[in-house]
Structure 1
Amino acid sequence: MKSGHATRPLRVNDVRAARALLDPASVRYLLPFLGRENTAARAAAQLGVPVRLMTHHIARLRRLGLLSLLGERTRGQRAIKVYRAVSDTFFVPFLASSDETLGAGIRRIEARHYEQFVEHLARAVAQVAPPEAWGVHIFRNARGDVVFDPVADLPGWNPAATDIPAVVLGFPTLRLEAEDAKALQRELFELYARYASRSGSRSYLLRLGLTPLEP
């Protein structure tokens, strides 16, 4: 690996470093130094961990070549060490980690986000209706596709109503020509970019996915 803070991702081919970056329990200790300078004490406070534990992980990340010591700043009678990730952006090939296949790598990363998505989704929908009201509506649509639609069994249920939390869960199947699928892909990215440029008071986790089901 070559260090630097350029915008082009630093490709991480070292197996140990790759595993550290793809492991949520490990990479969290690098995040306070990603794209910014930081000290051990300040990083520990941001993560809510003891400084001694933060110092231990800083040494580990430096051995892996993921964190660099920029220098020291004097504060009173003390010299405070300042660190930063060796790059502001990383690219980790799935096959450089412990994943045996590309599918396994995607599945592991997706599972981490999906668990978080489901946990918060369950909290949000619990505010709308009791658990016994929730289930799956199974039917065949006008095109002949079988649909599994998570819904609440309530009279006049309308997930788009203004008093319903902004949550969406579903895996609809579309029948499109290749050019229409590419147009949908572009529009989804454009829609995401439009809202991503805004700054609000709450955080939302958005899941986007589109893939052909046949070769």
Structure 2
Amino acid sequence: MSSVLHLSDPAAVKLLTHGRTRRVLGAFLKGENTVAGAARELALDLRVVHRDVLALNAAGLLRVVREQKRAGRPVRVYAAVAPAFFVPFSATGAAGLEELGSDRAERYAALFRTAFFREFERLHHEQSGGRGGGVRLYLAPEGHVQADTSYEGAELVDAGVRYQGPLGLVLNADATVTLTEAEAREVQVELIRLLMRLRPRTLAHEAAGGGRPFLLRLGLVPVTPEERATLS
């Protein structure tokens, strides 16, 4: 069979552009699997996975390869019909790339925000020593007006100059920087290299069942001065 199956059928396209059903199909890319096996692998409700598998099978993305006999109804074993799938953007019906990727981006951002503040508040409770936190507005040593949050009585410097908050495995560096295009390219290369270093470690830990998941946000994109001003 072809290494990449191009899809244009509306039912198949809908399933491939939906996060959960795409994950369910992914559980069958490594080889034959059952509904129960996929549910365990993905940590999803068995009934939800069963419903998604039936839809994927009906759309021609999964096929039944055999049945395992047992007392009662036999267990169907499924496999993906191709090792890879591709949906042309023109077949998605999305008005633009932003619309197509906005759902996952919004869920990722919401989870990051929730997890960050949950961990930050835990660390603050453990390490604050009774100091209260709050919002600050001050003239930074570099000469610009700074608005941020920190402990009461903390030195009036930005966390990028001297971090004075609780210590732990959290980092939320939503920063604006002013660079030349050459400097921005250097930063871009550094970030890409970081991701490339982390990828094999992630795969090794997941294969061994070790480590723990962390959310990592890296980004760099040019904006106009007017757009930057809206962040103040």
TM bin, normalised by shorter chain, reads 0.7 to 0.9
Q: Report the AA paired with residue 183 of structure 2.
A: D
* Cα separation, 1, equivalents of 2:67 and 2:94: 39
Which residue of structure 2 lines up, in the alignment, with residue 37 of structure 1?
32
- Which structure would you say has the larger Rg? 2
For normalisation by structure 2, the TM-score amounts to 0.68
Which residue of structure 1 lines up, in the alignment, with residue 133 of structure 2?
133
Q: Report the AA paired with residue 117 of structure 2.
A: A
Q: Report the AA paired with residue 109 of structure 1.
A: R
Alignment partner of 1:58 is 2:59: no
Alignment partner of 1:212 is 2:222: yes
Gaps of 5+ in 2: 126-131, 225-232
SS of the equivalent of 1:114 reads: helix
- Higher helix content, 1 or 2: 2
Q: Report the AA paired with residue 119 of structure 1.
A: T
1:161-180 alignment runs, 5 A limit: 164-180=167-183
Which residue of structure 1 lines up, in the alignment, with residue 197 of structure 2?
194
Q: Name which of 178, 203, 214 aligns with 2:213.
A: 203
Q: Report the AA paired with residue 209 of structure 1.
A: G
SS of the equivalent of 2:79 reads: strand
Displacement after TM superposition at 1:173 (Å): 1.8
The 8 Å contact of residues 7 and 86 in structure 2, kept in 1 or not, is answered as yes
* Cα separation, 2, equivalents of 1:164 and 1:42: 40
* Cα separation, 2, equivalents of 1:153 and 1:101: 43
Gaps of 5+ in 1: none
Alignment partner of 1:106 is 2:101: yes
What's the RMSD between the two structures over aligned residues? 3.8
Deviations 1:180-209 (A, max 9, x none): 222211111111222332235211011121
Displacement after TM superposition at 1:63 (Å): 2.0
- The one of the two structures with greater contact order (alpha-carbon pairs below 8 A, sep at least 6) is 1
The 8 Å contact of residues 19 and 98 in structure 1, kept in 2 or not, is answered as no
For normalisation by structure 1, the TM-score amounts to 0.72
Alignment partner of 1:153 is 2:151: yes
* Cα separation, 2, equivalents of 1:212 and 1:118: 23
Paired residue total: 206
| Residues 53 and 111 (structure 1), Cα distance of their counterparts in 2 relative to 1, 3 Å cut | closer
Displacement after TM superposition at 1:109 (Å): 2.7
Q: Name which of 108, 111, 119 aligns with 2:114.
A: 119
Which residue of structure 2 lines up, in the alignment, with residue 49 of structure 1?
45
* Cα separation, 1, equivalents of 2:137 and 2:84: 42
SS of the equivalent of 1:173 reads: coil
Displacement after TM superposition at 1:116 (Å): 1.5
The 8 Å contact of residues 71 and 82 in structure 1, kept in 2 or not, is answered as yes
* Cα separation, 2, equivalents of 1:142 and 1:79: 72
